[in-house]
A and B are shown apart, each in its own frame.
Chain A
Amino acid sequence: MLATLLIVFREVIEAGLIVGIVLAATKGVPQRNLWVGYGVAAGVAGACLVAAFASEIGELFQGSGQELFNAGILLLAVSMLTWHNVWMASHGRAMAQEMRQVGAAVVAGRRPLAALSVVCGVAVLREGSEVVLFLYGIAVSGGTSAGMMAGGVLGLFAGASVSALMYLGLLTIPAQYLFSVTSGLITLLAAGLAAQAVASLQQGGYVEFLTSTVWDTSWLLSDNSVLGRLLHTLVGYTDRPSGAQLLVYLVTITVIVGLTRLKRPLVVPTKQSSRYPIPVLPGD
């Protein structure tokens, strides 16, 4: 039972933390629950599909289908997270301005919720397919003891609880800092996912440079420990990173921060007088 609990807990927490960050980043945005819900539901459906066709996917590309598939969906998530941060940087200030004019609801509704919905879907799909395969295995092998199923359910609740705690923790951050914090988290999350994608491509034999391990901190904080897993998901920690993983991690952060800077409006309007006065129509 404990083994089942731990496996389900680990997978649920990886997806749950990502959903938690997305929920915190979209706090107060109308319809965000709907979009996140769509993403999670699609992710669950996708997880079942991927589990059902795991062998078929694996056989593609000379046995490297699984690695390519994983890398593909990870990179999809990375590009969506990048898009979100850059979009927010270029529209964030304009939004704050407009909010006073047209009302927060309308403006905030334009945020790239679809992108974040995809991110939730990918997170659930990736981790969920392993849970489905694992639980299916238990069910089929006839070892369907009540204890194992109970372990699975407990693992699900434990993972969801830790994710909910992190979400609630993020919400205690004062509103004016929350956006900066979630943007930072999303940047690190994207970098971590990009590094995972590289690991997957290296495993499939598609990336054959900088494969050696740069450092080994498994004695200090193992990837398999709970804290290691948490940090793995949140900031991309891994106890034995390869050179290529490290490189891509840093490049991803640089690209996101660079694009965000580039897209940020140069003019900083002051509170009292905007450099863009509201146009006065002839009829007024």
Chain B
Amino acid sequence: MRCKHLRPAVLLLITCAYFSSTTFAGAQTAIDVTIKNHRFTPSEIHVPAGKPAVLNIKNEDATAEEFDSSALKIEKVIGGGNEGTVRLRPLDPGRYPFMGEYHSDMAQGVVIAE
């Protein structure tokens, strides 16, 4: 009986594993972003619309930051002095604001898909 309860979760995991094998087949845009003094550089990031892209975010501050964007549907913690990879799904043309949640007054930026 117990196994039955776990079945949906297991099925989901298998599905995920299956689809993950097709991940990142093609070349994609990779952009380096730096966090320093709780600001993003560049704070305006241009990516081609309709294609996945990767942001390699380097946090040069001593403390952690959370890359947060409800428009991009991403919440990613990047530890102090560490790097983090943020994968952008293929975006429709437009502006997608993001912020560093822990310092949202300073850490602001936007991804522009065009």
By a beta-carbon cutoff of 8 Å, the part of chain A in contact with chain B is 3, 7, 54-55, 58-59, 62-64, 66-67, 75, 78-79, 82-83, 86, 130, 133-134, 136-138, 140-141, 194, 199, 201-209, 211-213, 218, 222-224, 239-240, 242, 248, 251-252, 255, 259
Contact = CB atoms under 8 A, between A and B. Distances in A.
B74 A203 contact: yes
A58 B23 contact: no
A75 B76 contact: no
A74 to B, nearest CB: 10
Contacts of A75: 9, 12-13
A54 B19 contact: no
A20 B95 CA distance: 38
B63 A218 contact: no
Interface in B60-91: 61-66, 70-71, 73-87, 89-90
B43 interface: no
What 5 A-B pairs have minimum CB-CB distances, sorted nearest first?
A: A137-B63, A55-B79, A63-B85, A206-B20, A211-B89
Nearest to B5: A83
Interface in B18-73: 19-20, 22-24, 61-66, 70-71, 73
A240 B6 contact: no
- Please report whether the interface of chain B is mostly helix, strand, loop or mixed according to DSSP: mixed
Contact of B6 (A67, A79, A194, A204): A79
Contacts of B13: 75
20 contacts: A55-B79, A55-B81, A58-B78, A58-B79, A58-B82, A58-B84, A63-B83, A63-B85, A83-B5, A130-B77, A140-B80, A141-B61, A199-B73, A202-B89, A212-B90, A212-B92, A218-B70, A223-B70, A242-B73, A259-B4
Contacts of B65: 137
Contacts of A208: 19-20, 22-23
A251 B8 contact: yes
A255 B8 contact: yes
B9 A54 contact: no
B111 to A, nearest CB: 14
A55 B16 contact: no
A130 B71 contact: no
Contacts of A64: 85
Given A54-B64, A137-B63, A206 B19 contact: yes
Contacts of B79: 54-55, 58
A88 to B, nearest CB: 12
Contacts of B76: 66-67, 203
A137 B102 contact: yes
A7 B65 CA distance: 13
Contact of B20 (A55, A82, A207): A207
B109 to A, nearest CB: 16
Contacts of A78: 9
Contacts of A205: 20, 23-24, 87
Contacts of A239: 70
A204 B52 CA distance: 12
A259 B17 CA distance: 25
Given A140-B62, A208-B19, A7 B70 contact: no
A86 B5 CA distance: 8
A137 B62 CA distance: 8
Contact of B77 (A59, A66, A204, A206): A66
Given A133-B102, A209-B19, A79 B5 contact: yes
A242 B91 CA distance: 12
